[in-house]
A and B are shown apart, each in its own frame.
Chain A
Amino acid sequence: MNAIELQGVTRSFKVGGRKLVVLDGVSFDVGAGSIVAVVGPNGSGKSTLLRLVSGLLEPDLGRVMVDGTAVAGPDPRVGLVFQEPRLLPWRTLLDNVCLPLELAGVPRERRQERARQLLSQMRLDRFESAYPGQLSGGMAQRAGLARALVQEPDVLLLDEPFSALDALTRERLNGELLALWERTHPTIVLVTHSIPEAVFLADRVVVLSARPGRIVADVPVALPRPRSIVDADTAAFTQAAAAIRYALESNDEERAA
């Protein structure tokens, strides 16, 4: 069963009167409960891809399906985590995590109970009445993750979620993301610039070319789960990373030639 299916998805934007094709005939499936990473150079349409799956954008051509039904606008089955935490600065952490449920009309008691569960999972329970301005970058991003999970989505989309964090925090959050996945096995699509991050987290890594974005490789990662940070030193890890790097570079050379 596929949680996400993309069939011949093409999307362009008007930039200064010119049509800019960002994604060109992209097709791939994401199996339910699996983790797929999308890597590619700047402008390869990675973020556009996530926005198409989340229903924030519509494709010009092709189809986007979630759980077998076509995506038509933002969908509660899909949770989205942005590059920045995007917390509302005037709301406490608890009220920020409650926000999706509040907008959906869930009664106060129930949404707070659910939000408190997630805050304690993310080890943020001591900070529920703090304001975003008082949090560190890593804490704020964990809160952003908690907010995306509060509606119990089947699909979790992450748009370079840890790229603004320092290397140590990033490594720790990668571990936390996997621990979270081990509990409920949501389908995850993660956009990243980091090849090691992609390999460490994903079952498969989809490599996009520079604009217009096309799929140039689909690299499986043969690492057993549950994974830990020491897996980064194994042969399987190195092989997958090398395959991804090769796909990115040969695509560059093709364009240069």
Chain B
Amino acid sequence: MSGRGNRRRLVSQAWPVALAGVAFVAVWQLIVSIGNYPTYTLPGPAVVLDRFLFFWNRGTIQTHATATLTEVALGLLVGGGAGVLIGLVLARSALAERLLSPYIVAAQATPILALAPLIYLWLGSGLASRVLICSLIVFFPITVSTMVGIRSVDVRLLELAHSLRATRRQVLMEFQIPSAMPQILGGFRVGVTLAVVGAIVAEWAGAERGLGVLINLARGSLFDTPLLFATLLTIAAIGVALYLVVVLLERRLVGRWRSV
């Protein structure tokens, strides 16, 4: 594909997205104008942007966003890594699946909001607790997608592997993992968005910095609804950006042989 073709495709894909963004802001403004809501209930886009720029220029947003992004990155690393590993184990051993899956499902079914204070009680209020909370929420979709992906490898390809005397390690590295890659990355699509939720929940349970902390400040002591909106939009933007990173990763890793 030529560079120019790529750019043209990007432009043709980008303008509907931009249009939808403009429409979103317009509808938002319309609701505020028609309903004539006070700023402390529903601020308009201009007020929110003004507030965002004010705190951006003071460096407030960046400080808190950096803290949240650190937790998200480490949570993805720990939770995603563990998810892929456990998913591989579960896929390759029926016994392991029978023994472990009830606990894995139970851990997922327990609300992370309820677990967070307990984790703080055990690990203290440092970064480790927040990373663990984030990992826990990321772990499940990635474990399941890895397990399902590895299990759904074409048995005819496994027969080929056997006929070529592939070792267990070669079967894993050259057949099972590449074949499961689309599903594993699908798990990461869900995982990155959940990681952001996990980080915010963890910050609510106790932290000094982070966008979750900023939300608490905005709606509590500061009673600053426009700042609350600005923070929420920042969080949403981080989620969308991370999701796009995974989509780009998919294009690089599996897009050549499979349309994403």
Contact = CB atoms under 8 A, between A and B. Distances in A.
B174 A103 contact: yes
A52 to B, nearest CB: 13
Query: In terms of DSSP, what is the predominant structure of the interface of chain B?
Result: helix
B156 A84 contact: yes
A131 B254 CA distance: 11
Which 8 A-B residue pairings sit nearest by Cβ, starting from the closest?
Answer: A131-B257, A90-B178, A90-B257, A74-B163, A86-B160, A74-B165, A100-B164, A89-B257
A163 to B, nearest CB: 15
Nearest to A76: B165
Contacts of B160: 82, 86
A99 interface: yes
A99 B164 contact: yes
Range class of the B interface residue count: 20 to 34
Given A54-B163, A74-B165, A99-B164, 16 more contacts: A56-B163, A73-B165, A82-B156, A82-B160, A86-B156, A86-B160, A88-B157, A88-B174, A89-B258, A100-B164, A102-B174, A103-B165, A103-B166, A103-B170, A131-B256, A132-B257
B50 interface: no
Interface string A99-143: 110111000000000000000000000000001110000000000
Contacts of B166: 103
Contact of A90 (B162, B164, B167, B181): B181
A58 to B, nearest CB: 13
Nearest to B166: A103
Interface of B: 156-157, 159-160, 162-167, 170, 174-175, 178-179, 181, 254, 256-258
Range class of the A interface residue count: 20 to 34
A80 interface: yes
Nearest to A102: B174
Given A133-B257, A133-B258, A88 B164 contact: no
